[in-house]
Amino acid sequence: MDPIVVVGGDAAGMSAASKFKREQPDRDVVVFEKGEYVSYAACGMPYYVKGSVEEFDDLLQVAPEEFIEERDIDLRLHHEVVAIDTDAHEVTVESPSGTSTQPYDQLLVATGARAIEPPFDGMDLDGVYTMHSLDSAKAVRNAMETHEPESVAVVGGGYVGIEMAEAFAEHDTVVHLFEMLPHVLAPFGEMVGEKVEAHLRDEGVELHLETAVDGFDGSGGHVETLVADESTYDVDLVLVGVGVAPNAELAAEAGIELGETGAIATDEFGRTSAPDVFAAGDCAEARHVVTGEPDYVPLALTANRAGRAIGQTMAGDETPVGDIAGTAAVKAFDLEAARTGIIDEETAREAGFDPVSVTISSTSRAHYYPGAKPIHITMLGDRDSNRVLGAAMVGHEGVAKRVDTVAAALHTETTVEELSYFDLSYAPPVSPTWDPVLTTAKVLNGKLD
Amino acid sequence: MDPIVVVGGDAAGMSAASKFKREQPDRDVVVFEKGEYVSYAACGMPYYVKGSVEEFDDLLQVAPEEFIEERDIDLRLHHEVVAIDTDAHEVTVESPSGTSTQPYDQLLVATGARAIEPPFDGMDLDGVYTMHSLDSAKAVRNAMETHEPESVAVVGGGYVGIEMAEAFAEHDTVVHLFEMLPHVLAPFGEMVGEKVEAHLRDEGVELHLETAVDGFDGSGGHVETLVADESTYDVDLVLVGVGVAPNAELAAEAGIELGETGAIATDEFGRTSAPDVFAAGDCAEARHVVTGEPDYVPLALTANRAGRAIGQTMAGDETPVGDIAGTAAVKAFDLEAARTGIIDEETAREAGFDPVSVTISSTSRAHYYPGAKPIHITMLGDRDSNRVLGAAMVGHEGVAKRVDTVAAALHTETTVEELSYFDLSYAPPVSPTWDPVLTTAKVLNGKLD
């Protein structure tokens, strides 16, 4: 029988390969990875640049040797799949030793995403980076340590932009953060955005909101200035982090359907439109648990669990990849922000809901207990069904894992009233008697009546 | 119309009174409180003794004047209800000005619980305390600050015992902790108990497990020694914290039914067996969400939300008091422990389940992120239905709010497999990619297959 073939050796691909081999140790699994790293912690890159993750090797979760020797996976580094023939059930592979074809019994496309490179002038100058590979993380940290730039610009106020601003600030440099939209962290909503902005300013970040970057200049081939809205800023290093785009071209060229988001369309088992071809991770869509519609939220957990489920399905035990809730968390210096589900009324209306939202402030611990910090929560509910639609929250502690309770409510189609009656944990050092999530649900339920 | 009458002015009673008045501002509400404090933070008492809550007044959440003047509640301090006549719809009240009767339209019994006083020799010696009133907290802190005892004994290794051990240790005294059972924190299970014990020992607490205290001696009327299992320990102060018992006598004498637990039996709206009489808080039972059976778990949130719901029901808007999951958290020095649902196999089997459990260790943050701490989780599932039954966990951070995700699963009758697919938050500073709860559910699901 032809082997299972996996294209791409990061979270989704290696999870699938490992799971399949555990279930079917006698079958062959071939993984083609075009680079030299597999299964790496992309989310840790900002902390490597910051220096709080000291060693580069700490970002490598499982060594290639372990996959090859211990898990018996035929992992081939520096092998790029350049074509898929879905009729012939084979892929074309380019490697240092030439071009070859590899037949497959079943195929997983796990080609990931890439950093979007906007058409700025001067994108190719030295000192201008995007952050979507371990090599770029290495290069940026090296630049920070060897050139000690006086001034750094971050373009984009999403997760990566915020985390990189924190990383650069650790190196005692002036940090400019440019965001085109009125607020940073758009997917977290305005309330969270404003709190994070205030905190970034407190931490010394020079924030430029509603500011469109035009490009970069540099006389000697190295970036020296950034131009935005007709102002010029002296900068020694630029990090462009304006989002990612799915690597869906390989699939598209093979005639595999893409979804409206531009990522590869999949069913609940991760199957694509082509027989025996699956897709997972940052190149694929997933179904949103609130809307029931395909969505594109390229995050690590989604990739890991879809890969694992597909490994199991390919091994004969059909397993859904799981819905996503768009749950996300980010730390910005000392502030934690988190979100899940649908948190803006316009998106909720587009999905057919009649949304009502409230924002409340509470505390992370009993108000009298030392170290209690404010937590701010916005929650959305549907007037017709009373269902919880989503929440965003921000505070100095106890935020990310509080959003999980709301995520659980989304997965179980819990009403706002039901959520307000969950028996959540309480002790003075960890929560007020009514957890802030309960208080928010209680207030929202009153508004939904 | 006769007023609403509430017996007891703490969490359940004042929540009910306040909610009723908001809904029906023109009706009268009379609250009888036998002591001088209302709505106080009993859970904060250990931290007041410790000194981390500095001011006594910080434990008083809402002043009596606010209830009287702002919320227009007829609150009568130093008034003890000594009898209920459920036929005549009236209560008999003793106060400094004599005995009187008060008719009621509807009545809430919110008489709370009291610290159990075991029949130890010498319980009446000076320096022997229980901890179930603000006055005892005041007295214990005063004793610690003025007499600076060299050695203190805590009898009982439950929440109060653990929290008081921490409080005493802050005063630079030798702390002995006596527990009859093989492990502290029995409701949290053996795994949590053992971790907490190791941590208590690290913090210098002298732990005496499986050790039955016989009593206390003191020549001059003040405690000097503790006798346990034929050994004698020099102690200058003793705190007995072996649990609480519901103050259900008033209701029982009125012919109101008690449940098997000894607390007042109630229906889903908090109604007792007597017409127009409700009960809530530490004197009443509540329905357990996993077993569907009445249970007695006297905790703050249960009291607050039942009181609030009953206030609403009494005002004409019938509102269930909500099920309990037995969710609880406790901090022991630097360690956090939490539990929810059913966590031991024997209890699960008695409730008709076929339990399977796993224990896993993970980390609070991405393993490579600085400050990541171990988290240990035991989770129970039912083999027949795949339902989540409960979990207990312990670690240095991020524990209490992680148990909430499991509590949410219990309230929604989620299966272990479904829980393993929840889209929970991830960022390196706050969680591994697979949150420890997900990892536990994944492993447990494998064992349930």
- Which burial class, exposed, middle or buried, applies to A243 when counting CB atoms under 10 A from its CB (0-12, 13-18, 19+)? middle
Residue B398 to residue B372: CA distance in whole angstroms: 10
In the predicted model, what is the mean pLDDT of residues B238-258? Answer: 97
Non-local CB neighbours of A101 within 8 Å, separated by 6+ positions: A90, A91, A92, A93
pLDDT at position B208 is 98
- Which candidate in B41, B43, B139, B443 is catalytic? B43
Work out the pLDDT band at B377, boundaries 50, 70, 90: very high
A207–chain B nearest CA distance, Å: 23
Tokens of residue B83, six digits? 């009898």
pLDDT of B318 above 80: yes
pLDDT at position B249 is 98
In the predicted model, what is the mean pLDDT of residues B431-437? Answer: 97
pLDDT at position A62 is 86
pLDDT at position B449 is 81
Select from B320, B336, B407 the Cβ nearest to the Cβ of A423.
Answer: B407
Give the residue among A198, A196, A194, A167 at the shortest CA–CA distance from A182: A194
**Looking at the DSSP assignment, which residues form a beta bridge with residue B94?**
B80, B99
Which string of b and e fits B89-109 if b means at least 16 CB within 10 Å? Answer: bbbebbeeeeeeebebebbbb
Is the Cβ pair A408, B414 closer than 8 Å? yes
Q: What is the largest CA-CA distance in chain B?
A: 69
Residues of A in contact with B302 (CB under 8 A): 423
Give residue B373's region: left, alpha or beta (phi > 0; psi -120 to 50).
beta
Answer whether A302's CB lies under 8 Å from A324's CB. yes
Domains of chain A and any CATH numbers: 4-40+51-114+245-314 (3.50.50.60), 117-242 (3.50.50.60), 334-448 (3.30.390.30)
Answer whether A44's CB lies under 8 Å from A58's CB. yes
Answer whether A245's CB lies under 8 Å from A229's CB. no
For an interface test with B, give the residue of A342, A368, A377, A419 to mutate (most B CBs within 10 A): A368
Among A283-292, A409-418, B108-117, B131-140, the minimum mean pLDDT is found in B131-140
**Alpha carbon A344 to chain centroid distance?**
19
pLDDT of B132 above 80: no
φ, ψ (nearest 5 deg) of residue A82: -110, -10
Specify whether B43 is catalytic.
yes
Is the Cβ pair A427, B400 closer than 8 Å? yes
User: H-helix or E-strand containing B231?
Assistant: strand B231-234
Nearest chain A Cα to B430, which residue? A400
Q: Tens of pLDDT along chain A (449 residues)?
A: 999 999 999 999 999 999 999 999 999 999 999 999 998 888 999 999 999 999 999 998 888 999 999 999 999 999 999 999 999 999 999 999 999 999 999 999 999 999 999 999 999 999 999 987 899 999 999 999 999 999 999 999 999 999 999 999 999 999 999 999 999 999 999 999 999 999 999 999 999 999 999 999 998 899 999 999 989 999 999 999 999 999 999 999 999 999 999 999 999 999 999 999 999 999 999 999 999 999 999 999 999 999 999 999 999 999 999 999 999 999 999 999 999 999 999 999 999 999 999 999 999 999 999 999 999 999 999 999 999 999 999 999 999 999 999 999 999 999 999 999 999 999 999 999 999 999 999 999 999 98
Is the Cβ pair A408, B403 closer than 8 Å? no
Select from B366, B408, B437 the Cβ nearest to the Cβ of A44.
Answer: B366
Answer whether B84's CB lies under 8 Å from B251's CB. yes
Is the Cβ pair B58, A368 closer than 8 Å? yes
User: H-helix or E-strand containing A395?
Assistant: strand A388-395
Nearest chain A Cα to B322, which residue? A421
pLDDT at position A40 is 85
Residues 112-151 of chain B whose Cβ lies under 8 A from any Cβ of chain A: none
Residues of B in contact with A327 (CB under 8 A): 423-426
Tell whether B41 lies on the interface with A, counting CB pairs under 8 A.
yes
| Token pair 């933070």: residue | B41
Select from B159, B398, B422 the Cβ nearest to the Cβ of A407.
Answer: B422
Tell whether B29 lies on the interface with A, counting CB pairs under 8 A.
no
- Which candidate in A43, A63, A123, A227 is catalytic? A43
Tell whether B326 lies on the interface with A, counting CB pairs under 8 A.
yes
Is the Cβ pair A400, B47 closer than 8 Å? no
Tokens of residue B335, six digits? 């360690």
